[in-house]
Amino acid sequence: MNIDQWTRRIALTFVALTVLLSGCTTYVTTQVTAFSAWSGSDATRTYAFTRHDDQQNNLELSAYERIVANELALHAFREVEREQARYLVELAYGIRSDIVTVAEPVYYNPWPGPYWGRPFDPWGPWGPFPATYVNQSYPVFTHLLGIRITERASGKEVYNVTARNFGGESSLVRAMPYLARSALSDFPLANGVVHTVKIPLGTGGGAAANEVSLPAVGGASAPAAATAPKAPQ
């Protein structure tokens, strides 16, 4: 087994445990990787989305562009016509499903009758008998969003960021607001940075560093601006 396969197996096992504890989960955790040649010298950040020819009438992509546009606006980006734009923004996205198997404990108590609790029953409700384990399989999903920014005039790539998270959510639409917010968190990141962004699930609670509030995962609406636009860097 090579290193990539071993790493993938460990990651899927971790995801399975996360799915098991999803009832207690209050954050969406996303891994972000950025490559940057951002100069920080631009006074205005005008941009336009760019697509491949076979994506011109893609309604799904249009929905994701609106979500990303909301996040770009938080960093002083302004969408304009392509001919007037300094930057071109291109999106890549996807979802992949896997099945992971986890050994779960099953307890058996052969003694009928009520459980009186301590100190009457020192072994607890399951008695002194050890647990047996049964394999349970769970679906897990990997959600991915890539944002690539190039200079329109030169074609030079100046920023390329990827956001990836895992979980039991089978809809990329519901995961996209969290991916977009995470991908552009702390923009612009330094070249080669890998970090983790935790976003509170739902609308309650305050936001700490690298933590922002978005609509609940069950909703597909684009997130509202949480802070004022940042000054260009």
Task: Classify residue 7: in a domain, yes or no.
Answer: yes
CA 71/CA 185 separation, integer angstroms: 9
Point out the least confidently predicted range of 1-5, 174-178, 216-220.
216-220
State the Cα angle at 226 between 222 and 232, rounded to 5°: 105
Query: Domain span at residue 164?
Result: 3-102+141-200
Instruction: Please say whether the beta carbons of 5 and 130 come within 8 A.
Output: no
Task: Classify residue 149: in a domain, yes or no.
Answer: yes
Task: Classify residue 231: in a domain, yes or no.
Answer: no
Question: Who's near 71: CB < 8 A, 6+ residues apart?
Answer: 180, 181, 183, 184, 223
Confidence (pTM): 0.69
Looking at the chain, the whole-number percentage of residues with pLDDT higher than 70 is 65
- Please tell me what DSSP assigns to residue 152: T
Mean pLDDT for 20-44 is 79
CA 20/CA 18 separation, integer angstroms: 5
Tell me: pLDDT of 113 over 60. no
Report the number of distinct structural domains present in the chain: 1
pLDDT band at 127; cut points 50, 70, 90:
low
Task: Classify residue 12: in a domain, yes or no.
Answer: yes
Would you state the pLDDT for residue 79? 97
CA 180/CA 32 separation, integer angstroms: 10
pLDDT band at 125; cut points 50, 70, 90:
low
Point out the least confidently predicted range of 13-17, 26-30, 67-71.
13-17
* More confident of the two residues 118 and 97: 97
At residue 199, φ and ψ (nearest 5 deg) are -115, 125
Task: Classify residue 110: in a domain, yes or no.
Answer: no
Task: Classify residue 124: in a domain, yes or no.
Answer: no
Task: Classify residue 114: in a domain, yes or no.
Answer: no
Tell me: pLDDT of 208 over 50. no
Task: Classify residue 190: in a domain, yes or no.
Answer: yes
CATH number of the domain within which 7 lies:
3.30.160
Instruction: Please say whether the beta carbons of 91 and 65 come within 8 A.
Output: yes
Would you state the pLDDT for residue 43? 77
